[in-house]
Structure 1
């Protein structure tokens, strides 16, 4: 929103600098993006009068002028303009002046004749023909009667190019500030200076508007109010300079008096308006309705647009004449031969306008305002202001009365006034009287213990909103800094700490964390070889997916893990060790419930020195440190995504908590991975449920340990964990630890057999063990292993 300081000064007298104004408004909540003075780059350009014109002796198109520019001596200036005559007042760029675009002017010779300056066109002043319609577009700007013709006067003051333009960033919840009056109200509250509303004098003329115009609202949910007025004997001509100046400073191009009045009122009151040529309204009737299927309209920009039934239009008895809140129709606009017009001041549903503008690809100054939900109670005042300006400008004869359709009147919101709550909520101490003063400066009334909020402040709905108004006028910078007094101490829940510990343990194992999307392609289930009747194929579909590859919520995170490993492998990363705490989404039988979210620890490895036992070691270390010490390892042969002979599951108290093993070669081929990949899926909820979090004290050992290694040969199918459990049970309390350190299959071992080697650490808590006791423990272990068919190698 661009604000003309000159325009603002019509409503409020502020004795502050531009910088103070910008800072004050920003600190009170109306953020100023910046400000600039019009014509600031122009310098040393003054008003001059042409006293003499004669042809250049050495040119057929140049003229030599004698100019009185209010200087001690007359100036001689050479010009090529053909629109000048003696007695014209013109802008004169003196020696060492600067014109628009930063171009410097110095005296010099043109074809041998001295030129002591330059006569300026509108373009050289940074203006256009819209700013001064009577000027010659490609000639020198000749000042009209609406300019100050004092010789030697700075041209910026002479033609009104001396305004300061302040640009505000207005938030979407404050459409009332998209107006000069709204910002005047904010300035009044900020600087404690009263502001004045413009005085509206509307005499009216012969006739009655209701006899010339009928208005009907057929879609009251999308049009809250529609007010219209009629002006006869319209005279289409340029607007006066003061109006053109304000429109220019506000970033709006002046067109003609009627169009400029609608734009002027929009900027002044924040209410978009439109003017229709009454002769193009069939039946002299305005019907606010939704568009019909297949209906089309050619808008003011000359583009034919097809409408859809949810779009709101302004129609006459036969056709749409405007897209409501967006743009008028081609034949609804004001033309040079227009004689009778209808002024429209309406309030439309913001959501409807936004959707229509977006669908048509047509966003206008009006739609940008309507989108923010305007106040229907402001329509009539804006309409009367337009009629007042018509009479001021002599632009036509106003017909008495207005036609106003207002199905449901918007009432003011009322809230209890609680001064003590405001102080406590904000953390300040402001008297009741001062709080009332703050609120009333914003036109918010306080009657006893009740606050009456004006309807143009739709953003104020609750006590906290009122507290914010008081706080910003009190000054956020004036609120003392105090440390937080909260008694609640932030902490992680037990489950959050469990996930954090899981993350840290994976990192300490040398794995790299990955984060993948929770949505995948349904084709991913084929790539991991899931059977057609697998429950995991029943996924939740995304209603508006980015594409087929991200169209379902994953029921297994394995495709996401393999996609990452495939990317690394195909980018020539020779080894990878990654993990993710991923979420899988299991749908309910009924569609009216959200999916069950199952957190899984996913681990993936590949590389020259990486195999099943490296993966198993990571899992075992994780379980041990997380609090799961007793578990069984069982072979798995029915998981289609894993190799049937190289996959196992870890079971704790009868519950499977993890599957780990080598990925099936078919799956690897589907992901274009040409090496063995080992993966694990850990059900974190089950691990969390079964872990033992009790801490027991164990003193540091006082006596040395003894180590013994044993290697046995057993059937290839015998689980290593069974052998380990047999050793633990046989040796008893003096066994401190037993660790697998080798598994061998080869020429020296019979077919279908394997060699398994364990390292035993023995220690007694009350004495030093003897070699005989250590040998006895080994003998017990071997006897237990023999029962499983294992013999000493």
Structure 2
């Protein structure tokens, strides 16, 4: 919000404050000043007096102007048609830096130099509005008031300082200069001069001239209107044009300028219709009809949606409510009667309409913040007063006020005295609280325990006691709240097993080389269906009022987001992709609140390693995902078992269910290679992806209940050497590597059993496969002999033969 200092000073006295001090105090009061812009202050430009004007001897369109600049006279070559003797003008001497009036790019400047024009030396320039950077007009020079002193710096005449405030979304009242002035008044203690909204209405009863019908009261909370007859459309007075130019608005005509002025003054958007262009002089506020179109004031025909609110007469739409008026009812030079609108529209609907049509406006900026209904009448009366003063005419008696939401707004907030101390940690005197809130326009009704605080019509952000406490704190000043040491005992630490487990798992995965990602907790039913969730998965939880259609349901799995991210990265990255996410999924079982279950999922795709002469160029596969799972569970002290299983997301035969034998074979997750059919739905540029999913809730339950699982056990560092031997076994194709390893590990002397080769084909009988296993033998207290290792090995072979039908492969 741009606030000209000269405009601000009309409502509150700031003469005893420097601009820097004012900016600091506004910022500390919650309205951050982003910048202070100074316009019109140009070195070497002063008020000049035109002594004489003569024709240029060698150019019909040029004149020689003799200018008294207070320190002598200068002759200037000027092409402006409106220059005349006796005028007070803006004279720029050599060295002045002016806006380049002929440049294509805005903001380009040029330094004025002595020049010879058609044989005559020009000692400066008589400036136009555009050259001074205070407007766009370049048809003639700027003519100043006759009473100005010759030689006065132009900044003292035209200079303006504009405070640019970066407002928070909850302060639409400060989208009006009066709202900022009210804060300044409360901060400084200087009285606020409210704009006058009184006027004399001498015309006919307004209800005999026009009528208003609200067909959709859920989208139009209040509609006020009046009629002014006999107005004269023309240019606005200079003071009004200056006000609008200072904040970057282009003056149009007196009627339109007044509605814009009031919007920037009070924060209430208004719109003026040509009364004679409104059929039957009747306003109807309704939703747009299917296929309805409207040509807006920018002369663009727009197709309207069924939830867009329009202003219509009995025959056609004449405006887009709270966004932009229609070209078929706009004010023109021939307008002599005006139908003035000031309404309150539904904020969310207004925002959706503007976004849907890509048609943002200053009105939308205010309406989308859900203005209170009381502001509309004040805005209407203020604009009516200014129209009568500037454009003339006669105002109708009374106002039209259709108010379907009357009585529905919150009127007050209860504030207890001890609540302020609880929130801020400091006590303020009752007198300070009352004066602070009173200066901000709040009404107070006090009792022994506190106050009933009435909410002003310009403050839609006030609804709870904390809002009132914040008002006190920011005006008194956060820097005035004393700094004290915390009192009482610090809170006792409370264990949070679920959070601790999540942190341990994410740390383990990060150490394993995976990158953590975070996705939205909401998705779409269609997007989630791409991963083919198991049929027994709980129902999706639908959102009643989603932000967009892309976030219509709460997710039931992390798989969709993982695969979408893998696919997106594969389109721009050719290196290894290894990522994971830990987060909640939402499962609706139809009774009570949905279950929020903590899950973690990860994926590997692309090459296993970065390109390097000494590294494998193989692609990631099932074993990368399995290895990540094993690393995480090893850090947790859990020994997993992987059992061949089925899951609709994963490829058959490349899927394993993760179980914990020590916890009665409880299922804690799944790992596998995603099926090509599922992955083809994500538009990826890699051929395959391996993924895992772990149920942290199930893991936590195992850690808390199963004996010995997850408990760390100290073991002495072995002091004797280990020995290893390799076994090549022939087993049935249905035998898993895990079964072989499990039998070998039963022997307490075997410290490690690892499958390092697997072969089927030539030399191996049909229905059989060759499995190579490396066994590591180590006694805790002695070095094993060859005979001892041989005996242990024979015991293991016998057990493998008995349980799995394994045989030693012939050499």
**CA offsets 1:191-220 (integer angstroms, 9 cap, x no match):** 111112133442333533333233333333
2:338 to 337, 341, 347: 341
After superposition, the C-alpha distances for 1:396-437 in whole angstroms (9 at most, x for unaligned) are: 233433333334435662223322221231122311111111
Structure 1, 681-690 or 81-90: larger mean CA deviation: 681-690
1:669 & 1:292 partners in 2: Cα distance?
A: 41
Cα offset for 1:262? 2.0
Which residue is equivalent to 1:737? 751
Alignment of 1:265-280 (within 5 A): 265-280=262-277
Task: State how 1:386-425 maps to structure 2 within 5 Å.
Answer: 386-393=383-390, 395-410=392-407, 413-425=411-423
Q: Which has the larger radius of gyration?
A: 1
- Counterpart for residue 36 of structure 2: 35
| Deviations, residues 434-480 of structure 1 (Å, cap 9, x unaligned) | 11111111011221132222132121111111110111012112223
The separation in 2 between residues aligned to 1:198 and 1:764, in whole angstroms, is 93
The residue matched to 2:302 in structure 1 has which SS? strand
User: Equivalents in 2 of 1:258, 1:673: separation in Å?
Assistant: 60
Instruction: State the match for 1:11 in structure 2.
Output: 11
1:543-692 equivalences in 2 (<5 Å): 580=580, 599=599, 626-628=636-638, 652=661, 653-655=664-666, 689-690=701-702, 692=708
Deviation at residue 541 of structure 1 after TM alignment: 11
Contact 1:561 1:604 in 2 (8 A): no
Aligned equivalent of 1:100? 99
Structure 1 residues 698 and 460, CA, compared in 2 at 3 Å: closer, same or farther?
closer
Where do 1:457-496 residues align within 5 Å? 457-482=459-484, 487-488=490-491, 493-496=496-499
Of 537-546 and 373-382, the range deviating more from structure 2: 537-546
Q: Secondary structure at the match of 1:49?
A: strand
Equivalent-residue separation in structure 2 for 1:568 and 1:301 (angstroms): 44
Do 1:49 and 1:151's aligned partners in 2 also have CA atoms closer than 8 Å?
Answer: no
The answer to whether structure 1 residue 118 and structure 2 residue 125 are counterparts is yes
C-alpha spacing 1:711/1:614, structure 2 compared with 1 (3 Å): farther
SS of the residue corresponding to residue 50 of structure 1 reads: strand
**1:152 paired residue number:** 151
Q: Contact 2:323/2:359 (CA < 8 Å) preserved in 1?
A: yes
Paired residue secondary structure (2:93): strand
Deviations 1:325-356 (A, max 9, x none): 22222242222222222222222222232233
Secondary structure, in 3 states, of the residue corresponding to 1:35? Answer: strand
In the TM superposition, what are the counterparts of 1:232-311 in structure 2 within 5 Å?
Answer: 232-311=229-308
Report how many aligned residue pairs link the two structures: 768
Does 490-499 or 91-100 show the bigger shift?
A: 490-499
Quote the residue 2:90 is aligned against. Answer: 91
CA contact 2:647–2:655 (8 Å) conserved in 1:
no
Structure 1 residue 148 displacement after superposition: 3.4
Q: Give runs of aligned pairs for residues 193-212 of structure 1, distance below 5 A.
A: 193-212=190-209
Structure 1 residue 30: Cα displacement = 1.7
Match of 2:178 among 177, 181, 184: 181
Distance in structure 2 (CA, Å) of the matches to 1:667 and 1:271: 53
Question: In structure 2, do the counterparts of structure 1 residues 13 and 306 end up closer, same or farther at CA, with 3 Å as the change threshold?
Answer: same
Q: TM-score, normalised by structure 1?
A: 0.79
Deviation at 1:165, TM superposition (A): 1.7
Deviations along 1:613-645, whole A, 9 cap, x unmatched? 99988877765654345x777677999966859
Distance (Å, rounded) in 2 between the aligned partners of 1:768 and 1:695: 29
Secondary structure in 2 matching 1:231: strand
Indicate the RMSD between aligned Cα atoms, in angstroms: 5.1
Query: More displaced, 313-322 or 606-615?
Result: 606-615
Question: Aligned in 2, Cα 1:704/1:451: closer, same or farther, shift over 3 Å?
Answer: same
CA offsets 1:634-686 (integer angstroms, 9 cap, x no match) = 67799996685998986723456677789999999999999999887766665
Kept in 2, the 8 Å contact 1:44–1:93? The answer is yes
Are 1:419 and 1:431, in contact at CA under 8 Å, matched by a contact in 2? no
Change (3 A) 1:240 1:515: closer
Per-residue deviation, residues 149-180 of structure 1 (Å, max 9, x unmatched): 543344444xx512322222233322211212
Equivalence map 1:316-327=2 (5 Å): 316-327=313-324
Judging changes above 3 Å, is the alpha-carbon distance between structure 1 residues 169 and 89 closer, same or farther for their aligned structure 2 residues? Answer: same
The answer to whether residue 84 in structure 2 is matched with residue 77 in structure 1 is no
| d(CA) in 1 for partners of 2:516, 2:745 | 38
Deviation at 1:367, TM superposition (A): 2.4
Task: Decide which moves more: 679-688 or 346-355.
Answer: 679-688
> How far apart are 1:710 and its partner, in Å?
7.9
Q: Which stretch shifts more, 315-324 or 654-663?
A: 654-663
Retained in 2: the 8 A contact 1:239–1:256? yes
CA contact (8 A) 1:539 1:552 kept: no
Give TM-score scaled by structure 2 length: 0.78
Cα distance in structure 2, aligned partners of 1:577 and 1:234: 71
Residue 160 of structure 2 contacts residue 246 of structure 2 at CA under 8 Å; is this kept in 1?
Answer: yes
Match of 1:48 in 2: 49
Farther off after superposition, 219-228 or 6-15: 219-228
Task: Tell me, in whole angstroms, the C-alpha distance in 2 between the residues paired with 1:675 and 1:282.
Answer: 65
What is the distance in 2 between the residues matched to 1:284 and 1:639?
65
| Distance in 2 separating the partners of 1:566 and 1:304 | 38
